[in-house]
Amino acid sequence: MRINAARVAAVIAVLTVVSALQRHIWGHLAFLHDVLPWLVDGSARVSFLFVGILLLGAARGLRHGHVLALGVSVVVLVLAAVLHVSPHFSTLLGLVPLAGAVWLLRERRAFTVHASRATIRRSLGFVGIAVLGLLVIGVVLVLLTENDASTVVDERALTVVRVVEVLFLVGFLAQLGWTLLAPRRPAVVTSADHLRDRERARAIVAAHGGGTLDYFALRDDKDFFFAGRSVIAYSARSGVCLVSPDPVGPVEERAEVWAEFLDFTQQFGWSVSIVAAAEDWLPFYEASGLRAAYLGDEAVVDCSQFTLAGGSRKSLRHAVTRVEKAGYTTTFHDPVTLEPELREAILAMSDESRRGEGERGFSMTLSRLLDPADTGLWMSITRNAEGRVDAFVQWVPAQHYNGWSLDVMRRRMDVEGLPNGLIDFTIAHTIAAIGDGHAPGVEPVDGMRGLGLNFAVMRQVLKGESENRLDQLVKPLLQRFSKGTQMETLSVFNEKYGPEWVSRWLMLDAPEFVATQLLVMADAEGVTEVPVLGRFFDHAREYDRSAPGAVTTTAAGARGVPAAGAEARR
């Protein structure tokens, strides 16, 4: 609906300007001459050019559902209809903008986005300049013609009108070209500027971020948009603006910050998509015209209530006991303060487990290790009886759950005979430390102390929990595709911890952008880096060899993304 409204406004703007230039059709407007006798030939064309410029400007706002753009469009279309009142053939053509105004009013419920204060200021400034300019032109025309008693229009006044007409025509063509040639690229940010922005974003995340994904706003491949006390982390790729996590900042700023960000993306013609959106943000996204698609569920364990006892924890309990009997221990560290020897061991094991591949991901992993700037992180390191590092998990803060969120997990791949369940052993001991209140930054108080684990893609559909008719139809296909992939294994891995499942959503733009957005998202998360199917099944077999009770990681990637060869960070 919004896209159609934008297209209709643009088409009417072009038709209005083209038809205004046909002098033999318009002639003079007898209706307006009766009201404003000082108008001269050419005034009609200036008025129609002005209407065309306003309609083009409002078209982009209609595309994003702005209430302000709706009001401007209706007023301008009615004005265009009034201008067509003439004893000539133009009266019939006036029905077109009038019909457009009536249609927009009928569909007004589709326009729910309130403009940001910056947009309102720009709009008022533009209207003020335009009105002032028209008043100046009117005064000039009155002064030039007030002493002319003849019916012949003063040549000096006609010259002024023609100059204004040319300026308006040039302005309209420039605006039309600007609209058609989008998207454009923003200014290139230097490394120093990006680092400065990242540290500014870090302060906002520390003050207002609390979700399990908020810390991942600080990835190196994300840019930052600041508004008020909030920040939005995004990456523009192939005309698509990927956003993740949800905007971080005070709750009371949400509507205004999102409106300002959409204004920013409009400058470059980007379509917008949000990866792994939280449920409490859906009303703001949907009000701006985005569509929600279920992506999966994130597993969050309440460490204060967790226990290894009971039949449902049998396999996990056996895995932990098996590793413990082999002489393994787990210790907890601040990654920034690791001893040089331990630091080298962590980096070497990480490189080996990834088989030399670079870190991949976008929404659910930080994709860097042991960066001195990343303060406040936590690392669980598991070593054998001789002190060799065989597994580790890095966690980032998640204040909303009074706990932590999994960033990356690794186990050694270059040693034969390692006991199954190293990752489970590491996570179970981490849960115990958080539950007892021994984790840094976690106060030993009553209430939930959460630990965010893996992300299970399309879990509700695969488990048959979705009541959506379409989900029920695609369930058999997903189940077949998920066999031996992380879509299946991560869900099974999470379930043995008895987590709370937190749904995440993918927000998509208009239908014509969906295919591009999905491809861009897949590339950003590392899903497209699958050279051959053999590698896909090799990864599945590696996971199976580590079961029960262990996750084997072979390459970097986003947490829970079902990509062949892509490591599950969660």
Residues 149, 153, 155: CA angle, nearest 5 degrees? 120
Q: What is the pLDDT of residues 220-272, one digit of tens each?
A: 999 999 999 999 999 999 889 999 999 999 999 999 999 989 988 877 778 89
Asked whether the beta carbons of 292 and 283 are under 8 A apart, the reply is: no
pLDDT at 30 over 50: no
Tell me how far apart the alpha carbons of residues 255 and 185 are, in angstroms, rounded to a whole number: 26
Is residue 98 very low, low, confident or very high in pLDDT (cuts 50, 70, 90)?
A: confident
Q: What percent of the chain has pLDDT over 90?
A: 35
Backbone phi and psi for residue 517, each to the nearest 5 degrees, phi listed first:
-65, -40
Quickly tell me which residue has 């308006």 as its tokens. 168
Asked whether the beta carbons of 91 and 85 are under 8 A apart, the reply is: yes
Is residue 17 very low, low, confident or very high in pLDDT (cuts 50, 70, 90)?
A: confident
Tell me which of 328 and 464 has the higher pLDDT: 328
Look up residue 370 and give its DSSP letter.
Answer: S
- Structure tokens, 495: 């379930």
The torsion region of residue 416 among left (phi > 0), alpha (psi -120 to 50) and beta comes to beta
Which pLDDT does position 91 carry in this prediction? 53
Asked whether the beta carbons of 462 and 488 are under 8 A apart, the reply is: yes
Terminal-to-terminal C-alpha distance of the chain = 39
Look up residue 442 and give its DSSP letter.
Answer: -
Quickly tell me which residue has 């908020």 as its tokens. 214
Q: Which of the listed ranges 119-133, 158-172, 178-192, 399-413 does the model predict with the highest average pLDDT?
A: 399-413
Q: What percent of the chain has pLDDT over 70?
A: 69
Q: What is the pLDDT of residues 35-83, one digit of tens each?
A: 444 444 445 666 777 777 777 777 777 776 778 888 888 888 887 777 6
Tell me how far apart the alpha carbons of residues 549 and 316 are, in angstroms, rounded to a whole number: 6
Q: Which residues of 53-84 are buried (b: 16+ CB within 10 A; e: fewer)?
A: bbbbbbbbbbbbbbebbbebbbebbebbbebb
